Amino acid sequence: MLVRRTGSILKDNPLKSHFVRSSVASMLGVLAIAGCHTPPPPVVAATATSGNSPGRPVATVPASGTDSGHITSASRRIRPYSAVVTRAAVTRTGFFTTHVVGDRLLFEIPRSAMNVDMLQLGRYARAAAAPASTASEYGGDQFSERTIRWDRMGNRVFLRSPSYSIMADSTLPIYRAIQGSDYPPIIAAFDVLAYGPDSAAVIDVTRLFTTSVPEFAALHGQIDPQRSFIERVVAFPDNVEVEATQTVTPNSSQLTSLVRTAVPTRSVLAHWSMIRLPEHPMMPRLADSRIGFYSRTRVDFGTNADRAVNQQYIGRWRLEKKFPDSAVSVPVHQIIYYIDPATPDKWKPWIRKGVEAWQPAFEAAGFRHAIIALDPPTNDPDWSAEDIRHTVIRWMPSTTENAASDGTRDIRTGEVLNGSVRIFHNIMNITRDWYLTQVAPLDPRVQHGEFPDSLMGRLLQYIVSHEVGHTIGLYHNHKSSSLYPVDSLRSRTWLAKMGHTASLMDYSRFNYVAQPEDSIPVSDLIPRVGPADIYTVKWGYTPIPGVTTPDAERPTLDRWARMQDSIPWLRFGHSTEVYTTANVDPGDETEAVGDADAVKATGYGLRNIRRTVPMLLAMTTKPTEDNSQLQELYARLVNQWRIELTHVVNVVGGSDVQTKYGSQPGPVYTPVSRARQDAAIKFLNQNAFQTPTFLIDESITRRLGPTGTVRRISTIQARLLSTLLQNARLARLREYAAMDPATSYSLDDMLADVRHGVWSELSAPRVSINAERRALQQSYLIDLAGKINPPPGSAPRPGTVNALTDAPNEPDVQSVLRGELTDLGQEVRRALPRAVDRDTRLHLLDASARIGRILDPK
């Protein structure tokens, strides 16, 4: 993913319907569809039939599923097959047979398909998306995913949703307890209308797709069956595909909000894939927190440990060598990505390159041409982009500035079954702006605002490659941006071989560390599949000969993981997305380049921002257009200034992190040295807390509005200061100094250095403080007031994200903050006589009064 969402470049919450029974009789008396308000159709007396022979009596229907053969329903009569599946039926044969008879959809489910685990995936085929809305549904968006199973008891069929959250080997005694603790809920119940060949149960499933069954609903609200109907049904050997229009109207709980916002009735064309999970499950590979793979957790009660063990299996495609004895072989089945026909033609070659850029990584794992991109077939009327068997890169008509990916996996093993990608049209806009605000001084082609198709195509290739990386199982690796020496990022030979970040899965956009005089080829300013990505794919996909269980793979996988000890750029980290370590590792940053030394890298980055400001008018001015492009790009350039300085902020109170297992020597957390933290504060005092006059260019600001310049800058400075003074950061500084007072950068030292930087004017012979600095100093007092005298009930709830960064200060920290404020009050009073202008004097008088109220609120 590139702008963070939960799988995007910038997680499954299945609904469950509980079925309660007190006896067999009550279970047999439930409605035909669980949760449906429409009564079941009347029972029609008829002669039971077998196979395709209408009218032929059948005395006993063989049991299947969970039926022992002793449960029957005297009140229900089975109709002749031909009376149910009439000559008007449109029939498709596959894993089970489907019949469309008028406006009804019938499933004919044979014995072989009963009690078989399947995966149900719901996606929109067509949706009414508002172009400017980020909350709309789009074609290809997923709305449901769950495992399902069809069971028959007597003359009824039940649709269940089994879970695999707990497990044990079926040969162990505890497996009985697992079965007793994991009873699958019943989503829906159906009367058997007739029996086909081999006692295949014929049931009417229309209402599953056209009424408000929560697990199959594509929209929130009450589904109107009069305006909902089956559109298309296709059956294949392993899956069944159903499309239906669903129309939703507001239910009573929504009426007030819907009336207030005038939200109309909505319709979508929804697509459900129901596919048999692999009959022979792939052997899973155990996850390792040192390696950046997505994983799912199951609790295993069948190990030899004295406790239940969380087993995490990585998500990966099933790749098997066609020629097992070859070091590198073509796979039995390739990973195929289809390119949406709706994609603009000029971008299709770049999207193909974005997919196939991963071929070298798979070749390192032993598979040649393992991953390819194709156009959809034009001569197959049954081909559908929503079909779960097809992985599609979709082009979405949306102003959302993002790209996203979905991974559908076999929960039993982690096998990826589908890995579709969505490219929202306006991802091009934000990618363009990233490029301009970071590396415009390095690429003469864009300095007048024009982007050649070859450049935009290359940027799209980068976006697609990142999203495809997620679909092959790779997680974000924000540590990667800090694993190269900063000076190497200005080296032509290094960049040509290694790129500016070791992993494409980092949010390390474009190489803003490089300088114009370095003459870096523009192609090397953009991330690509790097050595860490190749290593990760190799770790996850390389077959290990001679092993038959996941545990048997562990020694080899551990040996591969320990390569990170000697090759640092292979390491993985994503602490910015793991709340328990948020903002701890200054080398684990989003939107960063060269954060191995954030001070040095940001110094280079700010030089490029300074160079970009004078280019903005030329980039954005068009004779017949307004200033909206200038306003957007200027705002993003100012934000780029904030982002780069935040990387320096996070050096303070930070710890370098390397995840380690077992006997790997050394600590996992190593506090940042005093020298690095001291340098970071000095850099912030000079570059973040002094007024950035280079950003206040009146030729720009006077085109954007009559006011707002001071507020724009002071708001960002206040945000940087608040981040620096986060309670969790202050607590870490206090603890590090307590553990190692001789070499640590203490909380007292940090607060004093910040005070002297933010209030540096107080030591001057003539004290004059401009508007931006006055605003920053007021923010400083507001921050300390909130920490010394937090309002009642302001403490964040335990377990929340804010609780990790803004937990109440410890008493020891509180005393240091009060001491800082006492010292500042004395400095302000001494400076008052030296104020040279009225604004400065009034500001100091107000500051002195505020300090007094904070220290003595009574």
Over residues 801-828, the pLDDT tens digits come to: 444 445 566 778 989 999 999 999 999 9
Model confidence pLDDT, tens digit, residues 133-144: 444 677 778 898
Mean pLDDT calculated for residue range 507-518: 97
> Where is average pLDDT lowest: 17-26, 118-127, 257-266, 586-595?
17-26
Instruction: For residue 353, give both structure tokens.
Output: 């390159």
Reported as a pLDDT band with limits 50, 70 and 90, residue 520 is very high
Distance, CA of 501 to CA of 523 (rounded, Å) = 14
Predicted TM-score (pTM) of the model is: 0.85
Mean pLDDT calculated for residue range 610-635: 93
Model confidence pLDDT, tens digit, residues 836-853: 999 999 999 999 999 999
- pLDDT at residue number 397: 85
- pLDDT at residue number 291: 96
SS3 at position 229: strand
- pLDDT at residue number 177: 57
Distance, CA of 479 to CA of 532 (rounded, Å) = 11
Mean pLDDT calculated for residue range 603-627: 94
Convert 796-832 to b/e letters by CB count within 10 Å (16 or more is b). Answer: eeeeeeebbbbbebeeebbebbeebbeebbeebeebe
Reported as a pLDDT band with limits 50, 70 and 90, residue 179 is low
Distance, CA of 716 to CA of 723 (rounded, Å) = 11
- pLDDT at residue number 706: 86
CB atoms within 10 A of CB 670: 13
- pLDDT at residue number 297: 74
Under a CB-based contact definition with an 8 Å cutoff, are residues 550 and 286 in contact? yes
Measured at the CA of 597, the angle between CA 592 and CA 602, to 5 degrees, comes to 55
pLDDT at 55 exceeding the cut of 50:
no
Under a CB-based contact definition with an 8 Å cutoff, are residues 513 and 605 in contact? yes
pLDDT at 450 exceeding the cut of 60:
yes
Measured at the CA of 364, the angle between CA 358 and CA 365, to 5 degrees, comes to 95
Mean pLDDT calculated for residue range 549-556: 94
Distance, CA of 47 to CA of 467 (rounded, Å) = 57
Model confidence pLDDT, tens digit, residues 723-734: 999 999 999 999
Concatenated DSSP letters of 630-670: HHHHHHHHHHHHHHHHHHHHTTTT-EEE----TT--S-SEE
Model confidence pLDDT, tens digit, residues 298-335: 666 555 555 555 678 999 999 999 999 999 999 999 99
> How many Cα neighbours within 13 Å face the side chain of 37?
6
Instruction: For residue 713, give both structure tokens.
Output: 């800058």
Pairing mode, if any, of strands 201-204 and 194-195? antiparallel
pLDDT at 1 exceeding the cut of 50:
no
Distance of CA 181 to the CA centre of its chain: 31
Model confidence pLDDT, tens digit, residues 86-134: 999 999 999 999 999 999 999 999 999 999 999 999 999 888 765 444 4
Q: Which of 131-140, 306-315, 346-355, 784-793 has the highest mean pLDDT?
A: 346-355
Instruction: For residue 726, give both structure tokens.
Output: 């986060």
3-state secondary structure 122-159: EEEEECCCCCCCCCCCCCCCEEEEEEEEEEEECCEEEE
